[in-house]
Amino acid sequence: MMVFGNMGADSGTGVAFTRNQVTGAKELYGEYLPNAQGEDVVAGTRTPLKIAALRGDAPELYSNLAQVADRLEKHFREAQDIEFTVERGALWMLQTRAAKPPARATVRIALDMVREGLITKDEALLRVEPDHVIHLLLPQFDDKAKSEAKRSGRFLAKGLNASPGAAMGTVVFDPDEAEKLGRDERKPVILVRVETSPDDVHGVLHSKGVLTARGGATSHAAVVTRGLGIPCVAGCEAIQVDYDAAEFRVGDKVVRRGDSLSIDGGTGEVFAGSIRTIEPDFDREVDLQNLLAWADEVRSLQVWANADYPRDAVRARKFGAQGIGLDRTEHMFMETDRLPIVHEMILAAPEYRKVKRQREAAAKQLEAATNDRRRDLERQIAEMDSHLEDLSRRYIGSLEHLGRMQREDFAGILREMAGLPVIIRLIDPPLHEFLPRYETLLVQVTKLRIAREDPDAFIRAATSEEDRALIAEVRKAGSDVATGIEALLPRKERLLEAVKGSRETNPMLGLRGCRLGIMFPEITEMQVRAIFEAACRLKKEGVDVRPEIMIPLVGLPEELRIERHALEKEAKSVMDREGISVDYKFGTMIEIPRAALVADEIARHAEFFSFGTNDLTQTTMGYSRDDAEPKFLLDYIEQGILPRNPFQTIDREGVGQLMRMCVQKGRKVRRNLEVGICGEHGGDPVSIEFCHEIGLNYVSCSPFRVPVARLAAAHAKLRQGTTRAKDT
Amino acid sequence: MMVFGNMGADSGTGVAFTRNQVTGAKELYGEYLPNAQGEDVVAGTRTPLKIAALRGDAPELYSNLAQVADRLEKHFREAQDIEFTVERGALWMLQTRAAKPPARATVRIALDMVREGLITKDEALLRVEPDHVIHLLLPQFDDKAKSEAKRSGRFLAKGLNASPGAAMGTVVFDPDEAEKLGRDERKPVILVRVETSPDDVHGVLHSKGVLTARGGATSHAAVVTRGLGIPCVAGCEAIQVDYDAAEFRVGDKVVRRGDSLSIDGGTGEVFAGSIRTIEPDFDREVDLQNLLAWADEVRSLQVWANADYPRDAVRARKFGAQGIGLDRTEHMFMETDRLPIVHEMILAAPEYRKVKRQREAAAKQLEAATNDRRRDLERQIAEMDSHLEDLSRRYIGSLEHLGRMQREDFAGILREMAGLPVIIRLIDPPLHEFLPRYETLLVQVTKLRIAREDPDAFIRAATSEEDRALIAEVRKAGSDVATGIEALLPRKERLLEAVKGSRETNPMLGLRGCRLGIMFPEITEMQVRAIFEAACRLKKEGVDVRPEIMIPLVGLPEELRIERHALEKEAKSVMDREGISVDYKFGTMIEIPRAALVADEIARHAEFFSFGTNDLTQTTMGYSRDDAEPKFLLDYIEQGILPRNPFQTIDREGVGQLMRMCVQKGRKVRRNLEVGICGEHGGDPVSIEFCHEIGLNYVSCSPFRVPVARLAAAHAKLRQGTTRAKDT
């Protein structure tokens, strides 16, 4: 039977939510259009009233509606989204369904309903999705600044809220340019396209935000940006993109390449110019904190954070991290003031190693040598010793210098994390990552060789920024250009040779991780010394330090045995010297398939395992992430060959199978083996569920993701089937 | 009780073998020194007599000795190495042990003993080691040429026969120079060192042979070269190496850097100059062939060969291969006359793909477009069509050209292998491997940009070979240098950009294998068309063709399903057109861990699996072979961290565990799944034993290794415990 809302002033139609959709407060919320049918509301030709207005205008109707709303909510035990019509004063309910309010309201409603006794804490936890937490912790445009932008006519259009977060940057239409500006010049860019295709991905990867004129929630742009965590407004049909003119129009407004643009991927709004962004403030999210406290009671999986600096550790603790799962020490090498020392160290290391071995061989020969040969050998050894002295000054000297700096780094992070474990990973990347790029040096040497023939022409021909930088280097190297070139060229040539010698075909699978520590033990020994010096001194101050040393890229049990043996010796010698003993653990990353396959053997030498799922995914699936994502992986996802990006969500069938096997084998040998994950996956809710399922002790993720992980870990536990009494 | 051989003319001492140690003939062989003790023989001051001489000189003694020898041999059922002393006419046996004759004699003795009824065929097979077969099939110096070299005083010294095979080349003392000459200039070099260390490995890798002055059978040089299959004479104490003078001396003879040198790693001999080498001739090894025929009766593991060209297939069949396990089609792209076509194809492919996708998107939009937009889209589509026509000429046109060439390649190999399976692997390496090197282009473009400012100076300054080659290119491009630069530079710049765009950080794990076929389906379709056109035409001629199409680098079942679907369609269309049907199989390589982990799912779409154990070892262990071997892997072996090189012998604990799992999972879904191995490991006896153990159908190795594999496969079966009756 039809009811009619357009039968006069005592008729009408409306939509009501049983709770406020913005704040989550327990009050009727919605709109009412008197003397109208549903289609009039949709048509938008008349402005509807706020539901609250009915309280004064039609108190009886309001009270009726409130009663029905309350009954519906109690029946369904969920906030409701109701459609109703009033026909000549009689209230008719057309439809009711669960309301899907935004993040902040969802959290508040869940909490209120527990207080009201409508739902249990467990139910409340399950009502809030990890995505809600992500939303609450994403940067947002400042409300005032946004209103101000609207008032001043800078609001351009509204598209689909395809991937959440606020972003500002320079408008770019060409993916190549986006890549160039975003990656090479580190400028924030907003990539604007009619729509995106896999050929644009290299540009998307290096943009702060993406705006497209066409495409829905499952369009290429939407899928890719959500996958990458880049804000995106898609299908913004109001904009007219003109690639040839490098501009887009909205009515008579024109936005050109190079202009500033702001997009809100959470609301779909697009603004000209820049808008002040407010960073999320966890301290002010009291409701969320309460909810997460319940999550903490439920979950069995711990949540740790990845942090390289004391400031990260502070944030991690604030967000509720129960430890540091990954402190990457190589970041400490990369700082501008340390790089020259690191260069010196790396350039001297291979030569030091070579001469040291030759000296050992010569000393061995000396034992059995005849007189003639003995004199010869003694002369050689003396020469090698003098060479070694020089090399040692450069290699060991630089290492000691770095060690003093690293000690302060470690002290900072251990102090912030007092009482909680801190897993410090020893140096991992190939050494050439710290050196200048080969191609840059090659071009410089080529230019200097030609310039030597005619220095003036060299200066005349210099046009690019690189040329001017090179000329500046030349001028610094000598009193005039010619002598500068003569001084600089051989230095650059030597550096080029050194960098060439250390280049690798597939650096991901080359001389890195524990292989470095085995080939150049002095480096990892320095790191361990710095860790224990810091730990001992803090402990003397009364700080409860809990360092755990992690050796990366182990694939052979023997690698770990040897490394651990050498490094524990170093640790003990520091503790003896400092006269204090510190509790510590030694463990390893599991990041290549072989490590998972022989986890039982490795567990004999490891007190903990930490899955490095980025590398484990790369090796198990045979993907170099840097190459795969722009070249075929996102295409695979679009074509449905892969259900999702395995670098964001663990590939259960492949990588996950290895992880499960690894945990079982490891615990068979060492029952109390501590197992965690420190890859990016540690902050992904679907992956967290899997980590819970296979029995990990903790997930470690970026500090920012810790709250998400706390909720996801509770979900994993609850979905596992464990039920809790309503009153706990 | 002591016996004395120095009691006068009727006393003496000797060493006898019950069979000839060189030929294996059934006759006493050895040496006798009258009136002497053992130490006199060792001292080498008197020349002993041949045992055969005793037959005339002391017939009774000889006959006594022969009788005892015969009895000992019958007792031990093995050729004996006997020490004896004659004291005043009485024969005393001091010791007897199994003789260890060289390869040729070992084979003959084993065969003879079966004929004599002393041992079974199975025992005979087990008496011959795979290493014996390797020796018989290694290049050797021509006996006459060697004698001639000795007569003319070119014999220099004898060292330890550390790694078998004959090698000739230019003397080099510096590993860097060995690498440069051997790798970059492809010259044969012999690296001469006092001894080698891990720092020399990059030079060893690119040498034809290695000679060291010091070190035994387990020295670094010996271990490394045996591992790499490079001939080596080690511990040749007679040579005095002087690195500073870049020469070595043997007495008053001097061999300088750049001189020719020949070494025999099987005998330890070193010669100045070059000596004619004879390639092994399998046809003449009748004893070996007989033995291998027995091996064929015993083994259950088939032996196939890897062959890229018809000439390889001919060799493989001669050596007894039962199929081709790997025909790498990309080698067909690398030939000089085809490279320009391949370049054209590769440079046009990405652009073709991009425009084609844009056109598809535009066509879809056209369906729903309003009038204004429609006109706009129609204009765009017309533009894209004209662009596509040009791109298609370059991309598809080049592919068709290549297809006609590949058809002949396939016809050649299928014809040679009539009646036997031929596994053809579709294109595998990343496309940039076919393009010029980025660094070369970068330097050329840098030079040309500067040269444009002052062309004359450019020519004046040119000194290196590369500069002269570049100037030649400039001259070809224009009537004078200036116009030549103007013409050449933009071409080089475009090529540089294209090569830059296709570079990868870790090419081993990038856009290659089946990923190529999915992104650029036209390439693999061309290959399949060429295979089936060749197969259909041969079948019409009455040739029994058995092509098997192998899709590389599969990790996701869906990759294989999609590829197979597209390619079988292509195959059927060729067969329909040719009006004839050919039996074929579709299968995949298993070379990344994930493929082994989900082998059950993959087996649904594959009729065969072939383990690519080189890549599987790289990904499972996280080693890039090119980087690992020179940088740390050989060091690991030396330090005992790894028991052996996993690229030569399968790492059973890690890689092998995955292989075993893969076979089980695959056969669970498809009981008659054909499983083989086509990596280098397929020719390694220890790995072959493992392949037998896990139930592979075949191993496929280089043609040259087929005889070794036939014997090793028989050994694997025999050692498994299956015994055969003596008379079979």
Grade residue A662 by pLDDT with cuts at 50, 70 and 90: very high
Pair B341, B539: CB distance under 8 Å: no
CB contact under 8 A, B511 and A640: no
| pLDDT tens readout for residues B148-179 | 999 999 999 998 888 888 999 999 999 999 99
How far is B640 from chain A, CA to nearest CA, in Å? 9
How far is A297 from chain B, CA to nearest CA, in Å? 37
| Buried b / exposed e along A663-694 (16+ C-beta atoms within 10 A) | bebbbeebeebbbbbbbbbbbbbebbbbbbeb
Two tokens, residue B221: 């040089």
CB contact under 8 A, A197 and B631: no
Radius of gyration of chain A (CA): 32
Compute the average pLDDT of residues A263-281. Answer: 90
Q: What value, to the nearest 5°, has the Cα angle with vertex B254 and ends B251 and B260? A: 130
Question: Given this model, what pLDDT does residue A218 score?
Answer: 67
How far is A532 from chain B, CA to nearest CA, in Å? 27
**Mean pLDDT comparison of A102-106, B49-53, B553-557, highest-scoring range:** B553-557
Chain B, nearest residue to A442 by Cα? B443
- Residues of A with Cβ-Cβ distance to B592 under 8 angstroms: 620-622
Between B214, B511, B623, which is nearest A509 by CB? B623
ipTM at complex level:
0.88
Pair A689, A662: CB distance under 8 Å: no
Chain B, nearest residue to A446 by Cα? B443
| pLDDT tens readout for residues A94-123 | 999 999 888 999 999 999 999 999 999 999
CA–CA separation, A610 vs A591, rounded Å?
Answer: 8
Supply the residues of B annotated as catalytic. 220, 678
Lowest mean pLDDT among A38-52, B163-177, B407-421, B552-566: A38-52
CB contact under 8 A, B624 and A358: no
Mean of the per-residue pLDDT values for chain B?
Answer: 91
CB contact under 8 A, A627 and B511: yes
Kindly state the percentage of chain A with pLDDT values over 90.
Answer: 68
Chain A, nearest residue to B351 by Cα? A199
- Residues of A with Cβ-Cβ distance to B597 under 8 angstroms: 620, 653-654, 657-658
Pair B194, B210: CB distance under 8 Å: no
Chain B, nearest residue to A629 by Cα? B510
Grade residue A44 by pLDDT with cuts at 50, 70 and 90: low
Two tokens, residue B146: 């060697």
- Residues of A with Cβ-Cβ distance to B450 under 8 angstroms: 447, 450, 458, 461
Exactly one of A514, A678, A691, A701 is catalytic; name it: A678
**Which 3 state secondary structure label does DSSP give B92?**
strand
Q: Does A697 touch chain B (CB under 8 A)?
A: no
- Residues of B with Cβ-Cβ distance to A626 under 8 angstroms: 504-506
pTM: 0.89
Lowest mean pLDDT among B329-343, B485-499, B565-579: B329-343
Grade residue A572 by pLDDT with cuts at 50, 70 and 90: very high
Chain A, nearest residue to B458 by Cα? A450
Q: Does A566 touch chain B (CB under 8 A)?
A: no
Cα–Cα distances in Å, from B615 out to A461, B129, B315, B320, B386? 48, 28, 26, 27, 42
User: When comparing pLDDT for B605 and B196, which is higher?
Assistant: B605
| pLDDT tens readout for residues B691-716 | 999 999 999 998 889 999 999 999 99
Question: Given this model, what pLDDT does residue B595 score?
Answer: 98
Q: Which of B7, B247, B266 is CA-nearest to residue B139?
A: B266
Helix (H) or strand (E) holding A488: helix A481-502
Question: Given this model, what pLDDT does residue A92 score?
Answer: 93
Residues 347..366 of B with a Cβ closer than 8 Å to A: which?
350, 353-354, 357-358, 361, 365
Two tokens, residue B226: 């045996």
CA–CA separation, B459 vs B456, rounded Å?
Answer: 5
A/B interface, count of CB pairs below 8 Å: 224
Q: Does B658 touch chain A (CB under 8 A)?
A: yes
Cα–Cα distances in Å, from A232 out to A159, A275, A672, A683? 9, 16, 45, 21
Question: Given this model, what pLDDT does residue B726 score?
Answer: 39
Compute the average pLDDT of residues B284-295. Answer: 96
Between A506, A510, A620, which is nearest B507 by CB? A506
Compute the average pLDDT of residues B138-146. Answer: 88
CB contact under 8 A, B505 and A624: yes
Question: Given this model, what pLDDT does residue B721 score?
Answer: 59
How far is B364 from chain A, CA to nearest CA, in Å? 12
Between A558, A627, A653, which is nearest B510 by CB? A627
- Residues of A with Cβ-Cβ distance to B655 under 8 angstroms: 594
Chain A, nearest residue to B617 by Cα? A594
Estimate the crossing angle of helix B103-115 against helix B286-298, to 10 degrees: 60
Question: Given this model, what pLDDT does residue B462 score?
Answer: 77
Grade residue A726 by pLDDT with cuts at 50, 70 and 90: very low
Residues 601..640 of A with a Cβ closer than 8 Å to B: which?
601, 615, 618-624, 626-628, 631-632, 635-636, 639-640
Compute the average pLDDT of residues B107-126. Answer: 97
Q: Does A482 touch chain B (CB under 8 A)?
A: no
| pLDDT tens readout for residues B713-723 | 999 999 985 44
CB contact under 8 A, B597 and A506: no
Name which of A459, A515, A564 to mutate to probe chain B: the one with the most chain B Cβ atoms within 10 A of its Cβ.
A515
Question: Given this model, what pLDDT does residue A460 score?
Answer: 78
Grade residue B182 by pLDDT with cuts at 50, 70 and 90: very high
| pLDDT tens readout for residues A132-157 | 998 888 888 988 899 999 999 999 99
How far is A275 from chain B, CA to nearest CA, in Å? 33
Count other Cβ atoms within 10 Å, centred on residue B704.
18
User: When comparing pLDDT for B629 and A313, which is higher?
Assistant: A313
Query: Residue A557: pLDDT above 80?
Result: yes
Name which of A621, A653, A657 to mutate to probe chain B: the one with the most chain B Cβ atoms within 10 A of its Cβ.
A621
Give all strands (DSSP E) within B678-716, no chain letters.
698-701
CB contact under 8 A, A593 and B450: no
Q: Does A657 touch chain B (CB under 8 A)?
A: yes
Question: Given this model, what pLDDT does residue A723 score?
Answer: 41
Between A555, A558, A651, which is nearest B622 by CB? A555
- Amino acid at the residue B702: S
Pair A319, A704: CB distance under 8 Å: yes
User: When comparing pLDDT for A451 and B514, which is higher?
Assistant: B514
Query: Residue A619: pLDDT above 70?
Result: yes
Question: Given this model, what pLDDT does residue A212 score?
Answer: 94
Between A446, A510, A622, which is nearest B555 by CB? A622
Cα–Cα distances in Å, from A274 out to A165, A257, A279, B129, B696? 14, 15, 15, 78, 65
| pLDDT tens readout for residues B70-92 | 999 999 999 999 999 999 989 99
Grade residue B461 by pLDDT with cuts at 50, 70 and 90: confident
Compute the average pLDDT of residues A345-362. Answer: 89
Question: Given this model, what pLDDT does residue B218 score?
Answer: 67
Grade residue B725 by pLDDT with cuts at 50, 70 and 90: very low
Compute the average pLDDT of residues B548-556. Answer: 98
Mean of the per-residue pLDDT values for chain A?
Answer: 91
Chain A, nearest residue to B446 by Cα? A443
Instruction: Please state the length of chain B.
Output: 728
State yes or no: is A220 an active-site residue. Answer: yes
Compute the average pLDDT of residues B559-573. Answer: 97
Q: Does B330 touch chain A (CB under 8 A)?
A: no
Phi/psi region, residue A77 (left: phi>0; alpha: psi -120 to 50; beta: rest), is left
Name which of B432, B619, B625 to mutate to probe chain A: the one with the most chain A Cβ atoms within 10 A of its Cβ.
B619
Between A453, A642, A657, which is nearest B556 by CB? A642
